Amino acid sequence: MSGRADIAVVGGGPAGLSAAVNALARGKTVRLLSSGKTNLKHAENVDNYLGFYKITGGELMDRFEEHAAALGISAEKGKVLNVMPLGGYFMLNFAGQIVEASAVVLAIGTAKAREIAGEAEFLGRGVSYCATCDGMLYRGRKAVVWGLAPDSAEEANFLHSIGVQVVFAAKGERPENLKPEIPFIPEAVSEIVGEGSVSAVRTGGDLIETDGVFILRNAIAPTTLVPGLETQNGFIRVDSRMQTNIPGLFAAGDCTGAPLQIAKAVGEGLIAAQAAAKYIDSLGK
Ligand SMILES: Cc1cc2nc3c(=O)[nH]c(=O)nc-3n(C[C@H](O)[C@H](O)[C@H](O)COP(=O)(O)OP(=O)(O)OC[C@H]3O[C@@H](n4cnc5c(N)ncnc54)[C@H](O)[C@@H]3O)c2cc1C
């Protein structure tokens, strides 16, 4: 779909699929954007989701996706790095492209990301979460990529291709697809240091001098995703209509808090989609 969608749903788990199906049922255009890893696939045995006694999480997820696909909804694969509220509409930075939508439903599950020392302090002053967005700032300069997501090596390769002096740090083996010219450190980044801006990162026992560090996690904390979003104990704060503190931005599923269960995620997806549709109607579009 080109042009502005009515509703962008971020996340293709039970909450996101439910939101997309129900937004469509309300006659709205939908884009479903998902990096693709739902928690549900890890469930060996689900026996508390009504109507599907003794089913695996993988099978149940397949059934949800088949239902959505039958209505013409399939997730566009990629990570949303940023959601910008622009007063009346939103711009989403999605897999290297900009997606526009009148309303957004966040259905991003739980973010397990734990911040490291210096991360918040140097955000925007050497700490970045997006190679595509900020890579050009480091052309001809040094940057450490801390690869926590499966696509991190590709991001490091991209930075190298635009002239950044990249070092790749990640626990475990050197990724096979990492360009041979990029040095590899088999350690996590544990601390970011500097004065005013980043000057080095600590990996293992060593300090590595650098101008910047790209932290490439699978999960992005909701407050990193949307500037100004209110949370409570790490979960997105919503009202009974799944409305966040930002007009036009709704949230559903595990990301809004306990109980972290499929039935709640599916139910909240429905409420969020209906509330988003009503919000769009109130804009008079
Ligand atoms: C081992 C295990 C067993 C479980 N067993 C049960 C059970 O028996 N019964 C039960 O009710 N529940 C069970 N659960 C919990 C259930 O899986 C969750 O409650 C449910 O998956 C929540 O759905 P969700 O859509 O909110 O989040 P998720 O299923 O986590 O989906 C989140 C989606 O958002 C996407 N995403 C996240 N960030 C971004 C981003 N920045 N850009 C794009 N996409 C993004 C992810 O890729 C994913 O597709 C179990 C969970 C686990 C781990």
Check residue 109 and give its pLDDT: 93
211 shares a domain with 274: no
Give the end of a domain, one of 195, 216, 237: 216
For residue 177, report the distance from its CA to the centre of ligand 1, in Å.
28
More confidently predicted of 269 and 205: 269
Assigned token pair, 115: 């911040």
The Cα 209–Cα 142 span in angstroms is 8
pTM of the model: 0.81
Among residues 245, 281, 260, which one has the least CA distance to residue 15? 260
Among residues 29, 21, 28, 1, which one has the least CA distance to residue 68? 21
> Between helices 57-70 and 14-25, what is the axis angle to 10°?
20
Question: Residue 3: helix, strand or coil by DSSP?
Answer: coil
Best residue among 38, 61, 73, 74 to mutate for probing ligand 1's pocket (most ligand atoms within 8 Å of CB) is 38
pLDDT per position as a tens digit, 91-146: 999 988 999 999 999 999 986 667 789 988 898 789 988 787 788 999 999 999 99
- Write phi, then psi, for 52 (nearest 5 degrees): -130, 60
Instruction: Look up the CATH number of the domain holding residue 36.
Output: 3.50.50.60
- How big is the CA angle at 180 (ends 178 and 182), to the nearest 5 degrees? 75
Its domain, for residue 132, covers 127-216
Query: Residue 61: inside a domain, yes or no?
Result: yes
pLDDT over 80 (residue 75)? yes
Query: Residue 122: inside a domain, yes or no?
Result: no
Assigned token pair, 57: 């999480």
The Cα 209–Cα 152 span in angstroms is 20
For residue 43, report the distance from its CA to the centre of ligand 1, in Å.
10
The total number of structural domains that make up the chain:
2
Check residue 279 and give its pLDDT: 98
The Cα 243–Cα 93 span in angstroms is 21
Ligand 1 neighbours, Cβ below 6 Å, are: 10-16, 33-40, 42-43, 46, 48-49, 79-80, 107-109, 219-220, 225, 253-254, 260-263, 265
pLDDT per position as a tens digit, 144-193: 999 988 889 999 999 999 999 999 999 999 999 999 999 999 999 999 99
Check residue 165 and give its pLDDT: 98
